[in-house]
Amino acid sequence: MTKADAESEDMDPEQATGSIPEEKPAAPKTRKEVTGAEIEERFASWTLRQRERV
C-alpha cells in the first residue's frame, strides 16, 4: 500500500507502511522506556530459560 492509498482511505501513513517512528512527541508515555541493552539482557535470559526446558 502506498501513502496515496493510505490518504484515500483516511489511514495513518505510518500505519500503511508498517513502520513505527522512534518517538511521537504528542503521544502520552504509556510504557516504560526500554533501552536496547535491557532488551538484549531480557532476550539472553529468555534464551537460557528456553534451553533449560529442553
pLDDT in tens, 1-54: 555 554 555 555 555 556 655 655 655 555 677 788 888 999 999 999 999 877
The reply to whether the predicted model has a pTM over 0.85 is no
Q: What is the pLDDT of residue 16?
A: 56
Task: Name the residue type at position 47.
Answer: T
| Cα 33-34-36 angle, rounded to 5 deg | 140
Tell me which residue has cell 536496547: 36
Q: What is the pLDDT of residue 37?
A: 87
The per-type count for the chain, helices as H runs and strands as E runs, is 3, 0
Q: What are the angstrom distances between the C-alpha of 14 and each of 8, 19, 32, 33, 45?
A: 14, 6, 22, 21, 33
